[in-house]
Amino acid sequence: MYTEEEITALKQVTPLISQASEGGYTFILIDNLPLPDGCMPSHVTALLCPTPMGNGGYQSRLLLSERITGCGAATLNWTEPVRAFGKNWQVFSWNHNPGLDLVNKLFVHLRAIRYGKQ
């Protein structure tokens, strides 16, 4: 589903990744994702769904193993957890322009966490 170049580029940013599918979506599982400075915790497990997910019109979603505090996370619109792979994942409402590669999809979500709603 994703090009080898995209996967290789993503592994240069965060090397502990794998792909998993559930409910018709293919996710990128990211272990030990470093979060921006000032975030608590400083690392989480994340699921990047790089394709539109659900009915919200989001271009991609970043699901997190736990809710983040600090940094700009307090100003994010945290929504109800999403159930995937047998556990609840924390998610915030955030969207971006279509057409980004995997790395930039991850970066726009991390930028939202760092700076919050602007």
pLDDT digit string, tens, across residues 60-109: 999 999 999 999 888 899 999 999 999 999 999 888 878 889 999 999 99
Query: The pTM is what?
Result: 0.90
CA 118 to CA 115: how far, in whole Å?
7
End-to-end CA distance of the chain: 33
Give me the chain's average pLDDT, please: 91
User: Mean pLDDT over residues 1-24, rounded?
Assistant: 90
Amino acid at 6: E
Beta pairing, strands 43-49 & 61-64:
antiparallel
CB 112 within 8 A of CB 76: yes
CA 106 to CA 47: how far, in whole Å?
10
